[in-house]
Amino acid sequence: MSLKLDLQLKVEVTDEEQKAMEWIKKCLRAAAESEELPPVEVAVTIVDNPAIQQINKEYREMDRPTDVLSFPLWEPDEEWVLSEEEDAVPLGDIVISFPKAKEQAKEYGHSLERELGFLAVHGFLHLLGYDHETMEEEKEMFHRQEEILGRIGLQR
């Protein structure tokens, strides 16, 4: 399995943000391998709370910051088709609020790496069609998240 990541970073990133992107890459590779996917491409963008609030308002009509947003390119039952120019299936975009991840890591009493991993894998699974609208869907999605994070040592 391979995972092609299109990581969109600000021109100036802190060491902490650079380390965050490395963790996110590791987590998304583990997720792609765990799901036994062909080569895939994901765009990941790290933003601040005002930026994710604006995106959340624009696309979900919720005027508040959130931790992660996913924008899949495929419907859950749609077959993936590669164009001749593509060497990986483009799955979509994941947007993560770095300040929100830091806040939640502190609130939940675990590492920033764990929180970033959780958010990245959560967003990735949404790109694949997983959801948590019902209790059954939530149980399945959260089980997959924990399974994937456990593979790379980010258990609760």
Residue 132, marked binder: yes
Nearest Cα residue to 127 out of 77, 82, 84, 91: 91
Residue 110, marked binder: no
Residue 122, marked binder: yes
> Rounded to whole angstroms, how far apart are CA atoms 98 and 118?
13
Dig out the tokens for 104 from the structure. Answer: 């939640």
Task: List the binding residues for Zn(2+).
Answer: 122, 126, 132
Binding-site positions read: 122, 126, 132
